[in-house]
């Protein structure tokens, strides 16, 4: 089985995409090769750092009628299960350096933070916090534990016990709020103000830009690893989005490196949480209301990160939405050994880009709109493994361990 069943999808070519637009000084202050080099020096020094695999899905590429499909598998990132390990933890590191630097009246480097006992002790007086539905909070908690500061993570009523335990495992105090995600955000913010804590959020809004910028700088290491391992520069990139920080980090990387050779960038969202597509349609950021109900929990966001919009508003070529069953089918495709594709354990949010690539490649009009053809080299980011193991088993029919065992035996 090497094709995805048909599912309805929406493809919106970005009416404001500007092919000749320079990357520009403003964007360079946010995401740049220099900032990535700094992030890379810090993140690669952490225990357990390893480049995540870039898998060639040659069977799927053949059935999609493209030259190649490469899938960057983030499931093993720092043992946390998702690419988010790069962003939240890096933002915690940057915050601690900034804050201690201010308190001490001198610059504090990440290396000093780790090597000077007095600095480590000072970290213990600092508390970081955020609201999360899973992956980001896990990253913040892990970073806080590694760097020795305190951490309080807010989760909303429906976050699974498994996800809660995965955060608590890193020493964070986990607070379950009674309402939805937005209410958890508000409580984190209220408590942070009252108690002098620092909010480490992955989304930006007016007056809150530095920390989400640091998060995105951390994400860029994943893009750099992928490009370094690719045999050739990609022609197309399909990247899934929640608030858009991840997609913007990818967009910025290619735009800054080689503005003239930018791959076609398609931003992919769940059909019921399509704040980026709706913003592109409206020509300005708009929020999506409703329950944002989707299995793709990491992408269930109703509001765009303003910083991300600085890149995606004119830098994305197209916006695409997919229904949940397409993601489930893509998870199953990756879980089934067929000789031409490696077996990959991919979570619900990980496969949105893959699902959109396969759906658009199978559709003549979408294929033409995106310029997909037999020479296309498609890059995908598998942003998580089975970060909710019980849900993975329910959707795929086997646990991650069984899937890998079956794959090894095939
Ligand atoms: C697995 C996974 N993929 C993609 C995303 C999307 O990232 P962003 O919210 O920065 O768009 C998330 C966000 O939580 C995620 O958890």
Ligand 1 atom 3: the closest Cα is on which residue? 383
82 CB near ligand 1 (under 6 Å) = yes
Please name which of 196, 134, 141, 199 lies closest in space to residue 161, comparing C-alpha atoms.
134
pTM surpassing 0.85? yes
CA dist., res. 129 & res. 144, Å (int): 10
Q: With contact defined as beta carbons under 8 Å apart, do 327 and 350 qualify?
A: no
Q: Beta strands 68-73 and 54-56: pairing type?
A: antiparallel
Q: What is the CA 362 to chain-centroid distance, rounded?
A: 26
CA dihedral angle for residue 400, residue 153, residue 47, residue 28, rounded to 10 degrees? 100
pLDDT tens-digit readout, 361-386: 999 999 999 999 999 999 999 999 99
Tell me, what's the pLDDT at 2?
66
- In sequence order, which residues have a C-beta less than 8 Å from that of residue 199 and are 6 or more positions away? 128, 129, 130, 188, 189, 192, 208, 211
Render each residue's pLDDT in the chain as its tens digit; 410 residues: 568 989 999 999 999 999 999 999 999 999 999 999 999 999 999 999 999 999 999 999 999 999 999 999 999 999 999 999 999 999 999 999 999 999 999 999 999 999 999 999 999 999 999 999 889 999 999 999 999 999 999 998 888 888 899 999 999 999 999 878 878 888 999 999 999 999 999 999 889 999 999 999 999 999 999 999 999 999 999 999 999 999 999 999 999 999 899 999 999 999 999 999 999 999 999 999 877 889 999 999 899 999 999 999 999 999 999 999 999 999 999 999 888 899 999 999 999 999 999 999 999 999 999 999 999 999 999 999 999 999 999 999 999 999 999 999 98
Q: For the sheet containing 318-322, what is the strand order? A: 10-13, 318-322, 264-270, 236-240, 377-382, 68-73, 54-56
Q: Do 384 and 135 contact (CB within 8 A), yes or no?
A: yes
Three-state SS for 270-339 is ECCCCHHHHHHHHCCCCCCCCCCCCCCHHHCCCCCCHHHHHHHHHHCCEEEEECHHHHHHHHHHHHCCCC
Catalytic residue numbers, as ranges: 84, 133
81 lines ligand 1 (CB under 6 A): no
Pairwise CA distance, residues 235 & 226, whole Å = 14
Nearest CA to ligand 1 atom 8: 242
Look up residue 3 and give its DSSP letter.
S
Is the CB of 318 within 6 Å of ligand 1?
no
Sequence-distant (6+) residues with CB within 8 A of 142 are 78, 80, 85, 88, 89, 170
Is 294 near ligand 1, meaning CB less than 6 Å away? no
Pocket test for ligand 1, best of 75, 80, 82, 130 (most atoms within 8 A of CB): 82
C-beta 296 within 6 A of ligand 1: no
Rounded CA-CA distance 320/352 in Å is 10
In this structure, are residues 311 and 220 in contact, taking their beta carbons and an 8 Å threshold?
no
- Please give the Cα distance from 64 to 361 (Å, whole number): 6
User: For residue 15, what pLDDT is reported?
Assistant: 97
| 352 Cβ inside 6 Å of ligand 1 | no
Q: Domains for the chain: give ranges and CATH numbers.
A: 10-79+212-409 (3.40.50.1100), 84-200 (3.40.50.1100)
Mutate to test the pocket of ligand 1, among 88, 347, 349, 382 (most ligand atoms within 8 A of CB): 349
C-alpha span between 410 and 406 (Å, rounded): 6
């Amino acid at each position: 089985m090497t094709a995805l069943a048909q599912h309805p999808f929406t493809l919106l070519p970005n009416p404001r995409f500007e092919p000749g637009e320079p990357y520009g000084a403003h964007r360079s202050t946010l995401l740049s090769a220099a900032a990535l080099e700094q992030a890379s020096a810090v993140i690669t020094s952490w225990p357990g750092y390893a480049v995540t695999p870039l898998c060639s899905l040659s069977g799927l590429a053949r059935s999609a009628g493209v030259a190649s499909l490469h899938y960057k598998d983030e499931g093993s990132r720092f043992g946390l299960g998702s690419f988010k390990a790069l962003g939240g933890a890096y933002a915690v590191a940057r915050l601690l350096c900034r804050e201690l630097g201010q308190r001490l009246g001198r610059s504090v480097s990440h290396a000093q933070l780790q090597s000077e006992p007095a600095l480590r002790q000072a970290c213990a007086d600092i508390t970081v916090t955020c609201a999360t539905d899973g992956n980001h909070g896990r990253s913040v908690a892990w970073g806080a534990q590694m760097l020795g500061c305190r951490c309080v993570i807010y989760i909303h009523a429906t976050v699974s016990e498994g996800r809660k335990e995965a955060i608590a495992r890193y020493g964070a105090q986990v607070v379950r709020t009674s309402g939805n995600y937005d209410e958890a955000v508000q409580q984190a913010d209220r408590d942070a103000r009252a108690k002098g804590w620092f909010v480490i959020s992955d989304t930006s809004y007016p007056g809150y830009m530095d920390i989400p910028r640091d998060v995105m700088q951390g994400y860029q290491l994943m893009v750099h690893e992928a490009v370094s391992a690719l045999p050739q520069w990609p022609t197309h990139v399909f990247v899934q989005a929640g608030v858009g920080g991840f997609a913007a980090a990818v967009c910025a990387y290619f735009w800054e490196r080689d503005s003239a050779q930018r791959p076609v960038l398609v931003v992919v969202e769940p059909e019921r949480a399509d704040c980026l597509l709706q913003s592109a349609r409206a020509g300005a950021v708009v929020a999506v209301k409703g329950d944002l109900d989707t299995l793709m929990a990491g992408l269930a966001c109703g509001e765009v990160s303003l910083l991300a919009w600085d890149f995606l508003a004119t830098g994305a070529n197209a916006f695409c939405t997919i229904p949940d069953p397409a993601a489930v089918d893509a998870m199953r495709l990756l879980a089934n050994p067929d000789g031409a594709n490696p077996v990959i354990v991919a979570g619900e949010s990980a496969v949105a880009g893959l699902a959109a690539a396969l759906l658009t490649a199978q559709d003549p009009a979408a294929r033409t709109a995106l310029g997909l053809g037999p020479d296309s080299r498609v890059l995908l980011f598998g942003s998580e493994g089975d970060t909710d193991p019980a849900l993975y088993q329910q959707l795929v029919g086997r646990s991650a361990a069984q899937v890998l065992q079956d794959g090894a035996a095939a």
